[in-house]
Chains A and B, each alone.
Chain A
Amino acid sequence: MLSSLHSPRHLLLHHRYPTLPLPSKPLSSSSPKSLHTSHSQTLPLSPPPPQSPTPTSQILTTRESLLARRTTALDLAETFLRGLRRTEPHLHSFLHVSDAVLKEAEEIDRKIERNEAVGPLAGILVAVKDNICTADMPTTAGSRVLEGYRPPFDATAVRKLRESGAIIVGKTNLDEFGMGSTTEGSAYQVTANPWDLSRVPGGSSGGSAAAVSARQCVVSLGSDTGGSVRQPASFCGVVGLKPTYGRVSRYGLVAYASSLDVIGCFGSSVADAGILLHSISGHDRFDATSSKRQVPDFTSQFISKDFLESKPLKGLRVGVIRETLDDGVDPEVISSIHGATSHLEELGCTVTEVSLPSFSLGLPAYYILASSESSSNLSRYDGVRYGNQVAADELNSLYEHSRAKGFGSEVKMRILMGTYALSAGYYDAYYKRAQQVRTLIRENFKDALDKNDILISPAAPSAAYKIGEKKNDPLAMYAGDIMTVNVNLAGLPALVLPCGFVEGGSNSLPVGFQLIGAAFEEEKLLKVGHIFEQTLQGCNFIPPLVADDFA
């Protein structure tokens, strides 16, 4: 056994094993070839600058190492679990950790030993947000009402992960039912930000973002109803990808607001987020909103940075959304966005300012639609068929007490607000009007994306804030979603990439920026994001908590 295999850093930084023999050709045809080839060619030649390692695909490097027999899935799994056990007492990212990880890893090793074909995610540790159903682990959606609940089926996205060879390492913490932006709304625990343990990781997919950031897993799944993948990605310094509405089946996703919900991806590199998205995308007969469109190999067009021209994005039209750089946004965030746009200009992009006139209407419209839909979707938690039941001598009391005991206060409030907005006589003033705003926002985006290839905005108005800071002021928390909700209303894909740091007391905190594309153009976003990430200088998005392991 190679001694270099005891730390995952060797999988992150190519230059750590430049002298090791590399496989002459990919052993499986299912891996994205051009990336694979370019990596093999460039590995020994291009040690990244020591201060800022360029993010590389952990999925592809793991695959190479496994297939070249330089490491085993068991070794990798043990390394990750060790790291997870060390960091978890500080972070609380997981609500449940699988006890089958090592067994599944051994299974992968046996297959490789027997030269059997293994899937593109073979041996990759994937964490799954706890509102996505897993048949072999509890699925609580962060709520007491589902405490101990084990779904009788896997979500389609989870099934696809398993079929690709992925190992589900556990279920990550979230704001109850996805309703929140800090992960403080979980009924079980508060997750800390790996960059500063006194701060929130963002939410609602805070557990999934923190887990990837702290290298407790390779990639993770989240869900994004109003920004729940993108905002925590920004807060934790990882890549977050919200696919087009319809790209990924929601079968098995605990429904919050069905006209907005999507399953999204976290990774420590753009390539990993793209490979993960590829493995879960595609039509599913169990979700009528899932699209029948072809799923492209999102990362096949990636070019290694050593083969980049001086202006690799020449001609790309980038629109910066004016309304997102308003005076309510942290000046440091605004300057990181300016930094990111200058970087895009250096890469050859034409950057102009665009306006989305209905932008500010998106926030109240989003909250009306989301709370209205949640009041309907969450009516299923009545304590009768599953979940926790409070005994009563009459059926209505059983419902009322089971729900009163099972739901936390933010969930109760949103259900009540939704019930109000949908009341007879109020529908036109609230729900219908919000849907009309959705039409306006869709049209605004269409106009802007006719004139531009991609749009740029911050992912959140600030970097990660302190735990408890906004807990008792719903409007202050809702205001933080202004950058992301419009994208959900329009159903568009968006990619959040770390682009810089802001001062946050004793620690510097990562900041991400958001790239928004036209429907089903994830491939373009990922390609631009990959070039951006490969050429960004002087940033290292590995948090201090685990940096020693990767130094």
Chain B
Amino acid sequence: MGSRALLLLRATPPRTTDLNLNSSFFSKSLNFQNRVRSYSVRSGLDPPDLPRLAENARISLTPREVEEFALKIQKVVDWYLSLSLCVCVFGQLQAVDLQSIQPAIRADTDGGNFRDDLPETFENREAMISAVPNYEEPFIKVPKVLNKE
């Protein structure tokens, strides 16, 4: 069932591995894969484009990694999409509409105790500088900065 959803999501070979999860927490959301598809088509969300993501994240990937990660990440993203569905799927179960819910950026405990915005001298500057792989007083050295665009 999972691989059928994938085929509809993107034109890639079907996954050979099955999800093989004995947890009901997953099977619940996976049962909604067909709706995931319709949601993703409707919302126009493209599946992960690994080479582009790798470039944005500044991580070079080997062709083998691209292949391996693409499958695994697609699996997880399919599962993420179950959350995007919770308005229509879980919403029916719970009568909860996420649209009206305020997002929470972190736990609602204390915090926001900012110190004064004043510069302070770090005491152990020597140790910090000695960790720099390529240092030439007073600069951190890097190779030439080329702009590909």
Chain A residues close to B by CB (< 8 Å) = 135, 149-150, 152-153, 244-246, 258-260, 283, 285-286, 288-293, 326-328, 357-358, 360-361, 363-365, 367-368, 375, 379, 382-389, 391-401, 403-404, 407, 409, 412-413, 415-417, 419-421, 423, 425-426, 429-430, 432-440, 442, 461, 473-476, 478-479, 482, 488-492, 519-520
A415 pairs with B146, CB closer than 8 A: no
A327 pairs with B24, CB closer than 8 A: yes
Question: B53, B79, B124: which contacts A419 (Cβ < 8 A)?
Answer: B53
Nearest CB of A to B81, in Å: 8
Give CA–CA (A475, B18) in the complex, Å: 11
A384 pairs with B111, CB closer than 8 A: no
Sample of 12 further A-B pairs with CB below 8 A, known A259-B106, A291-B111, A412-B65: A259-B105, A289-B106, A293-B110, A361-B83, A396-B148, A399-B58, A404-B61, A420-B53, A438-B103, A439-B104, A475-B79, A479-B26
Give me 13 A-to-B residue pairs in the complex whose CB atoms sit less than 8 angstroms apart, sorted by A's number.
A152-B126, A260-B107, A285-B115, A358-B94, A364-B79, A400-B60, A416-B57, A429-B45, A438-B104, A442-B107, A475-B79, A476-B23, A490-B107
Residue of B whose beta carbon sits closest to that of A421:
B80
A152-B127, A368-B83, A412-B59 known; A288-B25 Cβ under 8 A: no
A409 pairs with B65, CB closer than 8 A: yes
Q: CB-CB contacts of B79-92 with A at 8 A, as 1s and 0s?
A: 11111101000100
Give CA–CA (A493, B115) in the complex, Å: 26
Interface residues of B in 107-141 (CB under 8 A from A): 107-115, 122, 124-128, 131-134, 140
Contact of B29 with A by CB under 8 A: yes
Give CA–CA (A382, B134) in the complex, Å: 13
Residues of chain A contacted by B54 (CB below 8 angstroms): 416
Contact of B11 with A by CB under 8 A: no
Contact of B19 with A by CB under 8 A: yes
Give CA–CA (A436, B50) in the complex, Å: 27
B83 pairs with A407, CB closer than 8 A: no
Q: CB-CB contacts of B39-78 with A at 8 A, as 1s and 0s?
A: 0000101001010011011111100010011001101110
Residues of chain B contacted by A288 (CB below 8 angstroms): 111-115
B25 pairs with A419, CB closer than 8 A: no
Question: A386, A387, A419: which contacts B56 (Cβ < 8 A)?
Answer: A419
Residues of chain A contacted by B60 (CB below 8 angstroms): 397, 400-401, 403-404
Give CA–CA (A434, B82) in the complex, Å: 11
Q: CB-CB contacts of B10-27 with A at 8 A, as 1s and 0s?
A: 000000010111111111
A283 pairs with B113, CB closer than 8 A: yes
A433-B98, A474-B75 known; A396-B57 Cβ under 8 A: no
Residues of chain A contacted by B69 (CB below 8 angstroms): 409, 412-413, 416
Nearest CB of B to A137, in Å: 13
Give CA–CA (A442, B101) in the complex, Å: 12
Of all A-B residue pairs in the complex, the 3 with the closest CB atoms, nearest first, are A491-B107, A435-B103, A152-B127
Residues of chain A contacted by B20 (CB below 8 angstroms): 473, 476
Contact of B28 with A by CB under 8 A: yes
Residues of chain B contacted by A383 (CB below 8 angstroms): 133
A289-B106, A291-B109, A396-B148 known; A415-B143 Cβ under 8 A: no
Nearest CB of B to A370, in Å: 12
Residues of chain B contacted by A386 (CB below 8 angstroms): 131-133
B107 pairs with A385, CB closer than 8 A: no
Give CA–CA (A78, B148) in the complex, Å: 59
Residues of chain B contacted by A258 (CB below 8 angstroms): 106
Give CA–CA (A401, B133) in the complex, Å: 15
Question: A153, A409, A413, A479: which contacts B21 (Cβ < 8 A)?
Answer: A479
Residue of A whose beta carbon sits closest to that of B2:
A475
Residues of chain B contacted by A440 (CB below 8 angstroms): 96, 98, 101
A442 pairs with B108, CB closer than 8 A: yes
B23 pairs with A245, CB closer than 8 A: no
Give CA–CA (A476, B26) in the complex, Å: 9
B127 pairs with A150, CB closer than 8 A: yes
B134 pairs with A364, CB closer than 8 A: no
Residue of B whose beta carbon sits closest to that of A403:
B59
Residues of chain A contacted by B131 (CB below 8 angstroms): 149-150, 152, 385-386
Residues of chain A contacted by B23 (CB below 8 angstroms): 328, 461, 476, 479, 482
Residues of chain B contacted by A419 (CB below 8 angstroms): 53, 56-57
A415 pairs with B25, CB closer than 8 A: no
A475 pairs with B132, CB closer than 8 A: no
Residues of chain A contacted by B140 (CB below 8 angstroms): 384-385
B109 pairs with A246, CB closer than 8 A: yes
Nearest CB of B to A430, in Å: 6
B128 pairs with A152, CB closer than 8 A: yes
